[in-house]
Copies of this chain bind each other. A is one copy, B any other.
Amino acid sequence: MAADFTAWVSTHQSLFEEVLKRLLPQAEVMPQRLHSAMRYSVLDGGKRVRPLLAYAAGELAGATAERVEIAAAAVELIHAYSLVHDDMPCMDDDVLRRGKPTCHVEYDEATALLVGDALQSLSFQLLSEHQLNDDATKQLQMVKLLAVASGSRGMAGGQAIDLASVGKQLSLPELEQMHIHKTGALIRAAILLGAYCGNKLSDAQLERLDHFGKLIGLAFQVVDDVLDCEADTATLGKTAGKDADNDKPTYVSLLGLAGAKEMAQRLHHEALETLGEFGEAALRLRELADFIVLRKF
């Protein structure tokens, strides 16, 4: 990884942490327990892959940081809410997330439920209360884009397919469908929303960018499955091997470890090709693609 990229990542991760601290309701504001639990669930966690993708796409599209950071936060809040709900006993029943007790363990289940609900509302509040595009009609499209990516035809739908697949032998296309919804939709939304904050890109270019997002979103999941299979609890900060234990289909269970790694590399290669026409301007997106695929193996 280029030193320059490492610096870019850590700068933006730090900046973004401050953005989130500012945008989340303060813990002193009533209802305090809910606000405290919202901050607990969002702050100080994760690599912020989606926000980084939004920043990189925003740079490509000539967007200001002030606009991109709001779009990035909106996407990250959706991601954070999905983790809180996903960890609950009726879903994955996880007690550890990013090395900390999950929200329902640290607080309680009812609070975790409300934290997720309120984070989703806050996400749409952010997208509507800040000016993110000179054209309000375009901004409404951004709201729609995130709503669709989050809903029953996007992330929540992917979770539902995931639930229905436990204990079943899925085909590769079926597994792909699940992940295109579950993880892919939000990664694509992050990239597009970042790009929508600027106005440099044509519709055809936005479409290429979306295709890049689709490929990299899938690669992200394949790598996740590989890591889940290889890593131990300490490294991942979550209970390792859990999907396999739950008898959930994964790319590793379908393709074997070597096959899954090969697939990740193929997707990575295709994703980089998709960025070809953008030249140097897409450097950060290219580096992020490397970052997503090459982390830890």
A159 at the interface (CB under 8 A from B): yes
A272 at the interface (CB under 8 A from B): no
Q: A135-153: which residues lie under 8 A (CB-CB) from chain B?
A: 135-137, 139-141, 143-144, 146-148, 150-153
Whether the pair A125, B113 counts as a contact (CB closer than 8 A) is: no
- Interface flags, A22-56, vs B, CB<8A=1, else 0: 00010001110111001000000000000000000
- Given A90-B109, A159-B114: A140 in contact with B136 (beta carbons within 8 A): yes
Whether the pair A143, B128 counts as a contact (CB closer than 8 A) is: yes
- Interface flags, A155-167, vs B, CB<8A=1, else 0: 0110111011000
Whether the pair A118, B152 counts as a contact (CB closer than 8 A) is: yes
CB-based nearest B residue for A151: B121
Q: Which residues of B contact A82 (CB under 8 A)?
A: 117
**Residue among B29, B35, B152 making CB contact with A121, cutoff 8 Å:** B152
Q: A197-211: which residues lie under 8 A (CB-CB) from chain B?
A: none
A179 at the interface (CB under 8 A from B): no
**Residue among B112, B118, B129, B136 making CB contact with A136, cutoff 8 Å:** B136
- Given A111-B160, A136-B137, A140-B128: A85 in contact with B151 (beta carbons within 8 A): no
Q: List 7 A-B contacts (CB under 8 A).
A: A30-B157, A90-B104, A90-B108, A90-B112, A121-B148, A125-B144, A129-B144
The 4 closest A-B pairs by CB, nearest first: A121-B151, A90-B109, A136-B136, A125-B147
